[in-house]
Amino acid sequence: MFSSTCDYTKLRLNIRLCIQRLEYVQKKKSEISKGIRREIADLLKDGKVDRARIKVEQIIRDDYCVEAMDIIQSYLETINARFGLIQDAKLPDASLETPIATILWSKSRIKNEIPELDIVGQQLAIKFGRNYVRECCEKANMVNRTVMTKLNSIVPGANLVEMYLVEISKSYDVNFTPDTHVICDANLMLGDNLIEFKPDSSVGLPSMPSNFGACGMPWATTSMSDKAPYPTEFINETKTPSGIPPNETVPSNTTTTNEDTAMPPPYDMSVCNGQNAVVPFNYPGPSFLPSQDSFTTLPPGSFAMMPPMNGPSNPPLDDEKADFDTLAERFEKLKKK
> Is residue 328 scored above 80 in pLDDT?
yes
Q: Per-residue pLDDT averaged across 50-58, rounded?
A: 92
CA distance 288 to 260: 8
Degrees (nearest 5) of the Cα angle 42, 44, 49? 130
Q: Which residues contact 87 (CB under 8 A, 6 or more apart)?
A: 8
**Percentage of the chain exceeding pLDDT 90:** 35
Domains (range + CATH), the chain: 8-178 (1.20.1260.60)
pLDDT tens digits along 1-10: 444 588 999 9
Degrees (nearest 5) of the Cα angle 200, 202, 203? 80
pLDDT tens digits along 303-324: 445 555 555 555 555 556 667 7
pLDDT tens digits along 67-78: 999 999 999 999
> Is residue 29 scored above 90 in pLDDT?
yes
| Torsion angle defined by CA atoms of residues 161, 164, 169 and 175, in that order, rounded to the nearest 10 degrees | 30
pTM check: above 0.75: no
Chain-centroid distance of CA 316 in Å reads 88
